[in-house]
Structure 1
Amino acid sequence: MKIALLSYSTKPRGGVVHTLALAEALATAGQDVTVWSLGRGGDGGFFRPVDPAVRVRIVPFPDGPPDETVGARILRSIATLRAAFDPGPYDIVHAQDCISANAVGRCIRTVHHLDHFTTPELAACHERAIVEPYAHVCVSQSVADELARGWGLKTEVIPNGVAYERFATTVPADRARWKDQLGSYVLTVGGIEPRKGSLDLLETYALLRAEHPDVRLVIAGGETLFDYRDYRARWETRARELGVEPVALGPVPDDELPALVAAADAFAFPSLKEGFGLAAMEALAAGVPLVVRDLPVLREVFGPAARFGATPEDLAGELGQALTDHDPARQAAGRALATRHTWDTAAQRHLDFYRSRA
């Protein structure tokens, strides 16, 4: 089967991590897989090496004018990918986001999570990418239920896999280097942006430091298509007001990320909107205590393996417990949960779905 998987970016976002891992697992299962993406800012490849069994097609996407709006960038992204992509050679065209779904026409679409946009171009892109694909995959039942309630769509639920061994078997010396650099720390991965609950995490950290003054907050990641400069400015102002100094690492090289995660004393995941929580599942694979926002989707995915909090006060209390109450049973439950989510299983379920829709 000839399969095209399409993504809007080469950067290390959750949907892009999903696309590459799924592509590699499909290729391992004997399929002919090509991954297409826009190469922003001169990128000629993805954030990490891709298995040579997977073909990679990067469509150059040069920077626009300095005053280009997010809406204009979205429209230009769609037009650029549409002009480059020919669906003819493929049995399956599978878009992983609203930009690629708008660009390629008839396709299967994975809806990782649902957003609510106010920018007209983004709102229209989001809506078309839900209603126009002929079949849909969701990474959790909670998102599938949202699609059923909002659009009357029936979707296939196929959870993410996780690279368990990569996060569970990090080199002690690599973990020690992060510890030497950062000391005791709570980690979050995903950058500073509204959907990730970054302002609430600041409030949480200020409360946590009252009981754990030596613990640092470390934030990794942050590559995004959207312009969150105003939100970042508000975040920086609030950090000064609270008297806290989180460590914002920005994007971390892919080969260094597992040790950074494994060396953390706890992992915070206060997102306001998620479809699965791949970064949090990677933390469980590494044996790191996990504290997440109390959302239905995260209850569904993580169950007894995580601690839950609805407010900054709740999250701070749960993080404090995670730092002091080393719970072997919860850690074992987290590792067991992560081992059950394999990319090979996800790939086989995708293949079964593709064949049912061919």
Structure 2
Amino acid sequence: MRIALLTYSTRPRGGVVHTLALAEALAALGHAVTVWTLGRGGDAFFRPVDPRVRLAVVPFPDVPGEEVGPRVLRSIRLLRVAFAAAADGYDVVHAQDCISANAVDRCVRTVHHLDQFTTPELAACHERAIVRPYAHLTVSAAVAAELRAGWGITAEVIPNGVDAARFAAAVPAVPERPYLLTVGGIEPRKGSLDLLDAYALLRRELPALRLVIAGGETLFDYRAYRAEWEERARALGVVPEVLGPVAHDDLPPLMAGAAAFAFPSTREGFGLAAMEALAAGVPVVVRDLPVLREVFGTAVGYGTDPASLAAALLRAVTAPDPARRAAGRALAAAHTWPAAAARHVEFYERVTAGRSPHRPVPARP
């Protein structure tokens, strides 16, 4: 099959990680795969990509002072114009986010998670990207249930794959002092304020424990939330270490060296970073959400607020459970990209039966 996978960035976010890994697994099965994306911050992805995957990176220059709404509209417009100008016809056009789903006229869509936006352009983008695609995938049954309840849409569930071997083989970083790690940056959806409060409680019992925050590349403007977070840290008397985006090869040892991994997100579709931590053999504590209960079961600890998150993290750091560690490694290893790719191919064949290949049409105003 000729398959176009569309994402919105070259930088390391969960949806981009998913897109590249899926593209490589589909190419390994013999399919002709092109990944389309916007070149935010450059024209190269955050990691090398299998040469069997064709890359179409659309330049996206930064505009200083640009607000989120206009940036979203410009993203859609540039990707739409570039994709419409392509001479290739695809059997499947598969969008992984709301921006790429708005940039094409007919597509399959993976809904990784559902958001609530106040920016009008984002709210409209989010809604169109749900209702316009002709077929839908999710990475968990919980998100599929949200789609069914909110829009009457039936989605196929194909869980994420995980590069478990990469994290299982990592040589742990050896820190001077133990650290609690989270990946995803500082933003509302990641529960960053609750994690600060939990960490302050945890420090009462473990004063040497550091909090390390990795990642954080995002399209959105969270400066106000970040300012609130920094003010809260000062008030609590804690000094987290904010690394920002971490190089691809540096993430596994950073993950494997952590005393525990915290994942207090308020909205998730699967929890790929937490699954990678399990693959590395690190105790994981997540927020008690239906989707994370579905994905992780008894392999992780749970908390609902700063106090219960702190209590679960204290147990994870001071009394890690070998049986839970083994269960976590096994769970991560069971989610393979070849299996996910094979299920995607079955889905593509089913939903495209009788359809003509997708031919780009001239971009609309």
* TM-score, L = length of structure 2: 0.95
Q: CA deviation at 1:105?
A: 1.1
For residue 213 of structure 1, what is the aligned residue in structure 2?
Answer: 207
For residue 48 of structure 1, what is the aligned residue in structure 2?
Answer: 47
Q: CA deviation at 1:96?
A: 0.3
Flag as ranges the 4+ runs of structure 1 deviating above 2 A: none
For residue 164 of structure 2, what is the aligned residue in structure 1?
Answer: 164
Coordinate RMSD, CA, aligned: 0.8
SS at match of 1:255: helix
Q: CA deviation at 1:83?
A: 0.2
How many Å separate the matches in 2 of 1:122 and 1:44?
25
Matched, 1:67 2:65: yes
Matched, 1:39 2:33: no
For residue 77 of structure 1, what is the aligned residue in structure 2?
Answer: 75
Number of residue pairs matched?
350
Q: CA deviation at 1:69?
A: 1.2
Residue ranges of structure 1 left out of the alignment (5+ in a row): none
Counterparts of 1:67-216 in structure 2, within 5 Å, are: 67-86=65-84, 88-171=88-171, 175-176=173-174, 179-180=175-176, 183-216=177-210
> Match for 2:155: what amino acid?
T
Q: CA deviation at 1:89?
A: 1.3
> Match for 2:2: what amino acid?
K
Alpha-carbon deviations, 1:74-121, whole Å to 9, x = none? 000000000000375110000000000000110000000000001110
Identity in percent: 70
Counterparts of 1:255-294 in structure 2, within 5 Å, are: 255-294=249-288
Q: CA deviation at 1:171?
A: 2.8
Matched, 1:320 2:314: yes
SS at match of 2:167: helix
Q: CA deviation at 1:332?
A: 0.6
How many Å separate the matches in 1 of 2:70 and 2:187?
20
For residue 306 of structure 1, what is the aligned residue in structure 2?
Answer: 300
* TM-score, L = length of structure 1: 0.97
Contact kept? 2:11, 2:217, Cα under 8 Å: yes
Residue ranges of structure 2 left out of the alignment (5+ in a row): 353-365
How many Å separate the matches in 1 of 2:126 and 2:170?
38
SS at match of 2:35: strand
How many Å separate the matches in 2 of 1:310 and 1:293?
6
SS at match of 2:248: coil
How many Å separate the matches in 1 of 2:66 and 2:55?
28
Q: CA deviation at 1:324?
A: 1.1
Contact kept? 2:215, 2:243, Cα under 8 Å: yes
